[in-house]
Structure 1
Protein backbone atom coordinates (compact mmCIF):
# COMPACT_ATOMS: atom_id res chain seq x y z
CA UNK A 1 0.00 0.00 0.00
CA UNK A 2 1.34 3.42 -0.90
CA UNK A 3 1.95 6.15 1.62
CA UNK A 4 -0.62 8.35 -0.14
CA UNK A 5 -3.23 5.60 0.06
CA UNK A 6 -2.44 5.03 3.73
CA UNK A 7 -2.82 8.76 4.48
CA UNK A 8 -6.15 8.85 2.63
CA UNK A 9 -7.40 5.86 4.60
CA UNK A 10 -6.35 7.53 7.86
CA UNK A 11 -8.18 10.74 6.93
CA UNK A 12 -11.32 8.78 6.00
CA UNK A 13 -11.25 6.86 9.28
CA UNK A 14 -10.78 10.09 11.24
CA UNK A 15 -13.75 11.66 9.43
CA UNK A 16 -15.88 8.61 10.14
CA UNK A 17 -14.96 8.65 13.83
CA UNK A 18 -15.77 12.38 14.03
CA UNK A 19 -19.13 11.79 12.35
CA UNK A 20 -20.04 8.92 14.68
CA UNK A 21 -18.96 10.93 17.73
CA UNK A 22 -21.09 13.86 16.60
CA UNK A 23 -24.08 11.55 16.18
CA UNK A 24 -23.83 10.15 19.69
CA UNK A 25 -25.64 13.14 21.25
CA UNK A 26 -28.65 15.16 20.15
CA UNK A 27 -28.23 18.71 18.91
CA UNK A 28 -27.61 20.93 21.92
CA UNK A 29 -28.34 24.26 20.22
CA UNK A 30 -31.64 24.62 22.10
CA UNK A 31 -30.36 23.47 25.49
CA UNK A 32 -30.56 27.01 26.85
CA UNK A 33 -34.37 27.04 26.88
CA UNK A 34 -35.87 28.96 29.79
CA UNK A 35 -37.94 26.19 31.34
CA UNK A 36 -39.30 28.53 34.01
CA UNK A 37 -40.81 30.69 31.26
CA UNK A 38 -42.40 27.70 29.54
CA UNK A 39 -43.77 26.19 32.76
CA UNK A 40 -45.08 29.56 33.91
CA UNK A 41 -46.90 30.29 30.66
CA UNK A 42 -50.05 28.20 30.19
CA UNK A 43 -50.40 29.31 26.55
CA UNK A 44 -46.86 28.13 25.70
CA UNK A 45 -47.24 24.89 27.62
CA UNK A 46 -50.55 24.01 25.94
CA UNK A 47 -49.21 25.06 22.54
CA UNK A 48 -46.11 22.90 22.89
CA UNK A 49 -48.17 19.95 24.11
CA UNK A 50 -50.58 20.37 21.20
CA UNK A 51 -47.64 20.21 18.81
CA UNK A 52 -46.28 17.07 20.44
CA UNK A 53 -49.65 15.29 20.25
CA UNK A 54 -50.42 16.39 16.68
CA UNK A 55 -53.17 18.83 17.65
CA UNK A 56 -51.44 22.07 16.72
CA UNK A 57 -48.58 23.77 14.91
CA UNK A 58 -44.96 23.34 16.01
CA UNK A 59 -42.14 25.76 16.51
CA UNK A 60 -38.83 24.52 15.03
CA UNK A 61 -37.49 23.74 18.52
CA UNK A 62 -40.52 21.69 19.58
CA UNK A 63 -40.63 19.97 16.18
CA UNK A 64 -37.03 18.87 16.75
CA UNK A 65 -38.02 17.46 20.14
CA UNK A 66 -41.06 15.77 18.63
CA UNK A 67 -38.90 14.07 16.00
CA UNK A 68 -36.45 12.73 18.61
CA UNK A 69 -38.93 11.83 21.35
CA UNK A 70 -39.74 8.26 20.25
CA UNK A 71 -36.04 7.36 20.03
CA UNK A 72 -35.29 9.10 23.33
CA UNK A 73 -38.02 7.08 25.05
CA UNK A 74 -36.85 3.83 23.51
CA UNK A 75 -33.24 4.41 24.57
CA UNK A 76 -33.83 6.09 27.94
CA UNK A 77 -32.43 9.29 26.50
CA UNK A 78 -29.10 7.72 25.58
CA UNK A 79 -28.28 10.50 23.11
CA UNK A 80 -29.48 13.32 25.35
CA UNK A 81 -26.97 15.81 26.68
CA UNK A 82 -26.79 16.18 30.46
CA UNK A 83 -28.69 19.46 30.16
CA UNK A 84 -31.44 17.81 28.06
CA UNK A 85 -31.79 15.05 30.65
CA UNK A 86 -32.01 17.58 33.48
CA UNK A 87 -34.55 19.78 31.68
CA UNK A 88 -36.56 16.73 30.60
CA UNK A 89 -36.78 15.41 34.14
CA UNK A 90 -37.79 18.80 35.51
CA UNK A 91 -40.41 19.25 32.79
CA UNK A 92 -41.92 15.80 33.33
CA UNK A 93 -42.08 16.19 37.10
CA UNK A 94 -43.79 19.56 36.72
CA UNK A 95 -46.27 18.27 34.14
CA UNK A 96 -47.17 15.21 36.20
CA UNK A 97 -47.69 17.30 39.33
CA UNK A 98 -49.28 20.51 38.06
CA UNK A 99 -50.67 19.65 34.62
CA UNK A 100 -51.82 16.02 34.77
CA UNK A 101 -54.21 16.52 31.86
CA UNK A 102 -51.33 17.55 29.57
CA UNK A 103 -49.21 14.68 30.90
CA UNK A 104 -52.01 12.20 30.11
CA UNK A 105 -52.16 13.47 26.52
CA UNK A 106 -48.41 12.94 26.10
CA UNK A 107 -48.50 9.46 27.62
CA UNK A 108 -51.46 8.52 25.41
CA UNK A 109 -49.53 9.61 22.34
CA UNK A 110 -46.03 8.29 23.12
CA UNK A 111 -46.63 5.33 25.42
CA UNK A 112 -50.23 4.16 25.03
CA UNK A 113 -49.42 0.58 26.09
CA UNK A 114 -47.12 1.48 28.99
CA UNK A 115 -44.11 -0.04 27.23
CA UNK A 116 -41.73 2.63 28.55
CA UNK A 117 -43.37 3.31 31.92
CA UNK A 118 -40.94 1.36 34.14
CA UNK A 119 -37.74 2.47 32.39
CA UNK A 120 -38.99 6.05 32.27
CA UNK A 121 -39.74 6.10 36.01
CA UNK A 122 -36.24 4.69 36.63
CA UNK A 123 -34.78 7.43 34.42
CA UNK A 124 -36.61 10.08 36.45
CA UNK A 125 -35.16 8.75 39.72
CA UNK A 126 -31.53 9.19 38.62
Structure 2
Protein backbone atom coordinates (compact mmCIF):
# COMPACT_ATOMS: atom_id res chain seq x y z
CA UNK A 1 0.00 0.00 0.00
CA UNK A 2 2.93 2.28 0.57
CA UNK A 3 3.59 2.17 -3.09
CA UNK A 4 0.31 3.86 -3.66
CA UNK A 5 2.32 6.78 -2.59
CA UNK A 6 4.68 6.26 -5.46
CA UNK A 7 1.78 5.94 -7.77
CA UNK A 8 0.14 9.05 -6.50
CA UNK A 9 3.52 10.63 -6.73
CA UNK A 10 3.77 9.92 -10.40
CA UNK A 11 0.46 11.64 -10.75
CA UNK A 12 1.31 14.61 -8.54
CA UNK A 13 3.49 17.68 -8.42
CA UNK A 14 2.78 21.21 -7.18
CA UNK A 15 -0.30 23.08 -6.06
CA UNK A 16 -2.05 24.79 -3.20
CA UNK A 17 -5.40 23.04 -3.33
CA UNK A 18 -4.61 20.28 -5.82
CA UNK A 19 -1.45 18.90 -7.35
CA UNK A 20 -0.86 20.03 -10.93
CA UNK A 21 0.19 17.25 -13.28
CA UNK A 22 -2.87 16.34 -15.26
CA UNK A 23 -0.94 15.89 -18.49
CA UNK A 24 1.13 12.98 -17.14
CA UNK A 25 1.42 10.28 -19.82
CA UNK A 26 0.57 7.09 -17.94
CA UNK A 27 0.74 4.93 -21.07
CA UNK A 28 4.34 5.94 -21.70
CA UNK A 29 5.32 4.78 -18.21
CA UNK A 30 3.37 1.54 -17.88
CA UNK A 31 4.45 0.37 -21.32
CA UNK A 32 8.14 0.95 -20.66
CA UNK A 33 9.74 -1.30 -18.02
CA UNK A 34 13.02 0.60 -18.21
CA UNK A 35 11.25 3.86 -17.46
CA UNK A 36 9.13 2.57 -14.59
CA UNK A 37 12.17 0.95 -12.96
CA UNK A 38 14.24 4.10 -13.47
CA UNK A 39 11.56 6.19 -11.74
CA UNK A 40 11.39 3.64 -8.93
CA UNK A 41 15.14 3.96 -8.37
CA UNK A 42 14.85 7.74 -8.33
CA UNK A 43 12.20 7.57 -5.60
CA UNK A 44 14.42 5.50 -3.30
CA UNK A 45 17.60 7.51 -3.95
CA UNK A 46 19.28 4.76 -5.97
CA UNK A 47 19.19 6.47 -9.34
CA UNK A 48 18.98 9.85 -11.05
CA UNK A 49 15.74 11.82 -11.24
CA UNK A 50 14.36 13.95 -14.02
CA UNK A 51 13.23 17.40 -12.84
CA UNK A 52 9.55 16.40 -13.22
CA UNK A 53 9.95 13.19 -11.22
CA UNK A 54 12.02 14.99 -8.56
CA UNK A 55 9.13 17.44 -8.01
CA UNK A 56 6.84 14.48 -7.50
CA UNK A 57 9.33 12.75 -5.21
CA UNK A 58 9.53 15.87 -3.05
CA UNK A 59 5.76 15.66 -2.44
CA UNK A 60 5.76 12.05 -1.21
CA UNK A 61 5.90 12.86 2.53
CA UNK A 62 2.99 15.28 2.20
CA UNK A 63 1.00 12.80 0.15
CA UNK A 64 1.49 10.12 2.78
CA UNK A 65 0.62 12.40 5.67
CA UNK A 66 -2.51 13.83 4.05
CA UNK A 67 -3.71 10.58 2.46
CA UNK A 68 -3.44 12.15 -0.98
CA UNK A 69 -5.84 14.95 -0.01
CA UNK A 70 -4.58 17.23 -2.78
CA UNK A 71 -4.82 14.52 -5.43
CA UNK A 72 -7.44 14.85 -8.11
CA UNK A 73 -9.58 11.85 -9.04
CA UNK A 74 -7.53 11.48 -12.22
CA UNK A 75 -4.28 11.45 -10.24
CA UNK A 76 -5.67 8.81 -7.90
CA UNK A 77 -6.66 6.70 -10.90
CA UNK A 78 -3.16 7.06 -12.37
CA UNK A 79 -1.78 6.04 -8.99
CA UNK A 80 -3.92 2.90 -8.98
CA UNK A 81 -2.75 1.94 -12.45
CA UNK A 82 0.92 2.46 -11.60
CA UNK A 83 0.56 0.71 -8.26
CA UNK A 84 -0.95 -2.38 -9.84
CA UNK A 85 1.58 -2.43 -12.69
CA UNK A 86 4.56 -2.17 -10.38
CA UNK A 87 3.22 -4.66 -7.86
CA UNK A 88 2.40 -7.22 -10.56
CA UNK A 89 5.31 -6.81 -12.98
CA UNK A 90 8.10 -5.63 -10.66
CA UNK A 91 7.45 -7.01 -7.16
CA UNK A 92 11.03 -6.46 -5.98
CA UNK A 93 10.92 -2.76 -6.90
CA UNK A 94 7.49 -2.52 -5.27
CA UNK A 95 8.83 -3.97 -2.01
CA UNK A 96 11.80 -1.59 -2.03
CA UNK A 97 9.53 1.42 -2.43
CA UNK A 98 7.20 0.23 0.31
CA UNK A 99 10.10 -0.39 2.68
CA UNK A 100 11.65 2.99 1.88
CA UNK A 101 8.54 5.14 2.34
CA UNK A 102 6.59 3.20 4.94
CA UNK A 103 8.95 0.96 6.90
CA UNK A 104 6.54 0.65 9.84
CA UNK A 105 3.35 0.13 7.82
CA UNK A 106 1.86 3.33 9.23
CA UNK A 107 0.15 4.30 5.96
CA UNK A 108 -1.14 0.92 4.77
CA UNK A 109 -4.78 1.27 5.81
CA UNK A 110 -5.22 4.79 4.55
CA UNK A 111 -3.98 3.87 1.10
CA UNK A 112 -6.18 0.80 0.90
CA UNK A 113 -9.05 3.27 1.01
CA UNK A 114 -7.54 5.41 -1.74
CA UNK A 115 -7.00 2.39 -4.01
CA UNK A 116 -10.53 1.09 -3.64
Q: Given the two structures, how large is their TM-score scaled by the length of structure 1?
A: 0.75
Equivalent position SS for 2:27: helix
Pairwise mapping of residues 1-126 of structure 1 onto structure 2 (< 5 A)?
23-26=16-19, 28=20, 30-125=21-116
Unmatched tracts of structure 2, length 5 or more:
1-14
Q: Which structure is larger by alpha-carbon Rg, 1 or 2?
A: 1
Mapped to 2, the partners of 1:23 and 1:35 lie a distance apart of 23
Q: CA deviation at 1:48?
A: 0.5
Q: CA RMSD in A?
A: 1.3
The alignment covers a number of residue pairs equal to 102
Unmatched tracts of structure 1, length 5 or more:
1-21
Equivalent position SS for 1:25: coil
Give the number of the structure with larger relative contact order, counting CA–CA contacts within 8 Å between residues 6 or more apart.
Answer: 2
Mapped to 2, the partners of 1:87 and 1:45 lie a distance apart of 13
